[in-house]
């Protein structure tokens, strides 16, 4: 049975000092605006220095924000590294209509020992556009796509001077696009050692103006549609590029190392790691196409299905594809380079033991609804709206300060401006209970960060209400442009229900052999 969805709007009580917001289970939060008019804040991280670290996607700045005072200090301006203009600020008559990429300066990750002898800050940003010197839009013919390139770089934090210096490139050949760049960085342990993970989308290959671009999410030899893993410090390999690639990555080979950790992702903008039930897990959120925004448990060497299985392996995309267009010059029955999905079940079976279903999908629309949508879109008729959230990031709440919140996934969303809370089971391997929604407002929430005492949540909002893709018109206005919002828990809330006791085992017949079949455990490297 599908979980109920409980939503409480932004109930605000204004005063000269503060505002309060009430959540769906009676939680009362104080609300405060820490910063405004940032240039599309993308990453928001609470650092060991008790400051918020943030990146501005279009401003190409890295800053520290004092949550006590709201004072912002710019540590680094990467604008000189961007080898293409601010197309979002240039008239199409001047630049030919060239696109700003989805993102820009995106992920940021702080070394766990940032203030203890390892002053490293890792950044990911798009720096080159192949079409910058071309006339017109700069894309490949017949909707063949816009080709950008992304860097992942390590900087050193100079605390006294408040700057980032000594850049070292981990990789500067990552493919990029105008769409589905992913862009999230995360440091997480594997086997007791910390590594750097990067989420990269399928670059929109098969959709919109990238509709004729080949999709490589299922091909381990390409970095599109993957979770990648890098070393935090170089190893002893001879090749400089190989020094940043762990030798035990699952898709590496003796003569060719690879950063690929998992495959089959669409647009993974959320990555988070947490210990739940005594085991460490990496969680990921990604945008679905016309349904099925996904939450995944990430394991090395596993295949998460895109673009052959969307959401659960439930057949709702049978006979369809991961996108559709009305451009008859593109291949296939749905005018896209996304492959035709004959049967999700057959595709999952072909992937074999490496295939993984999501632990949760949002709004898995029926095959009938999707087929009607596809037919109308192909005919250039008015297609119906579809329910989705467009999850832009992900965090795991493991604290105990807010009743009932412990071991919950938190998803900020772009399409309808809310924070979604999903409670995990005792082992952290499944979503249980209702889908709860908080802080609804006419904004696009881009990222979320948590304070160490777990009483304060920080949410970043986009500067504009327009982006590429299906969420571009929602919301149609924004109430706080480029803001950092602080929500402080004050009182109220309901404890989580106690886990249900397992049913007693049926008596085993006398003389029966070993135990019956057991559901295999999902093992996550940590």
pLDDT tens-digit map of 502-521: 445 444 333 333 333 333 33
| Mean pLDDT, residues 389-400 taken together | 97
Lay out the sheet containing 28-35: strands in order across. Answer: 12-14, 19-22, 28-35, 484-491, 456-461, 445-450
Is the pLDDT score of 525 beyond 60?
no
- In the structure, what pLDDT confidence band is assigned to residue 496 with cuts at 50, 70 and 90? confident
Cis? peptide before 307, omega within 30° of 0: yes
| Mean pLDDT, residues 287-310 taken together | 97
Tokens of 526: 């940590």
User: Are the C-beta atoms of residues 325 and 377 closer than 8 Å to each other?
Assistant: yes
Confidence (pLDDT) at 497: 78
Task: Tell me the pLDDT tens digit for each residue of 111-140.
Answer: 999 999 999 999 999 999 999 999 999 999
Confidence (pLDDT) at 18: 62
- In the structure, what pLDDT confidence band is assigned to residue 522 with cuts at 50, 70 and 90? very low
- In the structure, what pLDDT confidence band is assigned to residue 467 with cuts at 50, 70 and 90? low
Task: Tell me the pLDDT tens digit for each residue of 330-341.
Answer: 999 999 999 999
User: Are the C-beta atoms of residues 208 and 469 closer than 8 Å to each other?
Assistant: yes
User: Are the C-beta atoms of residues 459 and 46 closer than 8 Å to each other?
Assistant: no
CA angle 426, 427, 433 (to 5 degrees): 50
| Mean pLDDT, residues 192-215 taken together | 98
Task: Tell me the pLDDT tens digit for each residue of 52-86.
Answer: 999 999 999 999 999 999 999 999 999 999 999 99
State how far the alpha carbon of 199 is from the alpha carbons of 175, 265, 269, in Å: 12, 9, 7
- What is the tally of helices (H) and strands (E) in the chain? 3, 27
Q: Where are the beta strands (DSSP E) in 394-518?
A: 395-397, 408-412, 419-424, 431-440, 445-450, 456-461, 484-491
* Contact residues for 2 (Cβ-Cβ < 8 A; gap 6+): none
Comparing 14-28, 155-169, 275-289, the range with the smallest average pLDDT is 14-28
Confidence (pLDDT) at 499: 61
Report helix, strand or coil for 357: coil
How many Cα atoms occupy the beta-carbon half-sphere of 269 within 13 Å?
27
Is the pLDDT score of 524 beyond 60?
no
Confidence (pLDDT) at 256: 87
A 10 A CB-CB count for 331 gives 15
Work out whether strand 185-190 and strand 193-200 pair parallel, antiparallel, or are unpaired.
antiparallel
Report the mean per-residue pLDDT for the chain. 90
Greater pLDDT, 14 or 121 = 121
Greater pLDDT, 434 or 474 = 434
- Gap between the Cα atoms of 32 and 30, Å rounded: 7
User: Are the C-beta atoms of residues 172 and 149 closer than 8 Å to each other?
Assistant: yes
| Mean pLDDT, residues 13-41 taken together | 85
| Mean pLDDT, residues 228-238 taken together | 96
- In the structure, what pLDDT confidence band is assigned to residue 500 with cuts at 50, 70 and 90? low
- Gap between the Cα atoms of 189 and 275, Å rounded: 11
Is the pLDDT score of 473 beyond 90?
no
| Mean pLDDT, residues 268-282 taken together | 97
| Mean pLDDT, residues 169-184 taken together | 98
Is the pLDDT score of 254 beyond 70?
no
Tokens of 34: 């820490």
| Mean pLDDT, residues 259-278 taken together | 98
User: Are the C-beta atoms of residues 503 and 280 closer than 8 Å to each other?
Assistant: no
Confidence (pLDDT) at 362: 95
- In the structure, what pLDDT confidence band is assigned to residue 16 with cuts at 50, 70 and 90? very low
Q: Is the dihedral of CA 263, 267, 272, 278 positive or negative?
A: negative
Confidence (pLDDT) at 17: 42
How many Cα atoms occupy the beta-carbon half-sphere of 97 within 13 Å?
4
Is the pLDDT score of 469 beyond 70?
no
pTM value surpassing 0.85 = yes
| Mean pLDDT, residues 417-445 taken together | 96
Nearest to 483 by CA among 20, 108, 14, 41: 41
């Amino acid at each position: 049975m599908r979980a109920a969805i409980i939503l409480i709007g932004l109930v605000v009580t204004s005063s000269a000092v503060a505002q309060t917001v009430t959540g769906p289970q009676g939680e009362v939060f104080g609300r405060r605006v820490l910063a405004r008019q940032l240039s599309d804040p993308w990453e928001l991280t609470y650092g060991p220095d008790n400051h918020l670290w943030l990146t501005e996607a279009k401003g190409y700045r890295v800053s520290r924000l004092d949550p006590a005072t709201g004072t912002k200090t710019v540590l680094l301006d990467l604008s000189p590294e961007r080898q293409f203009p601010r197309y979002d600020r240039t008239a199409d008559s001047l630049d030919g209509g060239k696109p700003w990429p989805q993102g820009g300066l995106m992920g940021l990750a702080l070394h766990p020992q940032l203030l203890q002898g390892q002053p490293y800050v890792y950044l990911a940003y798009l720096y080159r556009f192949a079409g910058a010197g071309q006339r017109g839009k700069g894309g490949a013919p017949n909707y063949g796509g816009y080709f950008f390139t992304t860097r992942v770089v390590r900087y050193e934090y100079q605390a006294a001077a408040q700057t980032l210096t000594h850049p070292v490139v981990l990789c500067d050949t990552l493919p990029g696009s105008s769409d589905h760049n992913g862009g999230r960085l995360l440091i997480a342990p594997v086997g007791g050692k910390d590594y750097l993970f990067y989420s990269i989308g399928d670059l929109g290959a098969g959709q919109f103006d990238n509709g004729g671009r080949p999709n490589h999410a299922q091909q381990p030899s390409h970095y599109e549609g993957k979770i990648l893993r890098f070393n935090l410090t170089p190893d002893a390999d001879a090749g400089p590029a190989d020094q940043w690639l762990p030798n035990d990555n699952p898709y590496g080979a003796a003569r060719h190392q690879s950063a690929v950790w998992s495959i089959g992702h669409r647009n993974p903008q959320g990555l988070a790691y947490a210990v739940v039930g005594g085991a460490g897990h990496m969680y990921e959120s990604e945008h679905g196409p016309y349904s099925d925004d996904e939450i995944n448990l990430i394991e090395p060497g596993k295949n998460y299905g895109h673009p052959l299985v969307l959401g659960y392996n439930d057949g709702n995309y049978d006979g369809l594809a991961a996108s559709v267009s009305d451009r008859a010059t593109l291949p296939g029955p749905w005018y896209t380079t996304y492959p035709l999905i004959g049967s999700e079940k057959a595709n999952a079976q072909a992937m074999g033991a490496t295939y993984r279903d999501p632990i949760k999908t949002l709004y898995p629309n029926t095959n009938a609804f999707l087929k009607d949508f596809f037919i109308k879109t192909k005919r250039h008729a008015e297609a119906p709206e579809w329910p989705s959230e467009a999850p832009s990031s992900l965090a795991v709440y493991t604290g105990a300060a807010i009743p009932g919140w412990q071991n919950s996934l938190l998803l900020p969303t772009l399409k309808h401006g809310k924070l979604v809370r999903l409670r995990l089971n005792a082992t952290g391997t499944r979503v249980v209970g209702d889908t709860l929604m908080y802080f609804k407002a006419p904004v696009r929430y881009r990222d979320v960060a948590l304070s160490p005492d777990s009483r304060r949540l920080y949410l970043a909002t986009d500067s504009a209400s327009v982006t590429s893709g299906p969420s571009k018109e929602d919301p149609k206005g924004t109430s706080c442009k480029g803001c950092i919002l602080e929500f402080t828990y004050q009182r109220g809330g309901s404890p989580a229900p106690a886990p249900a006791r397992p049913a007693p085992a049926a008596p085993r017949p006398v003389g029966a052999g070993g135990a019956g079949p057991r559901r295999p455990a999902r093992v996550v490297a940590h």
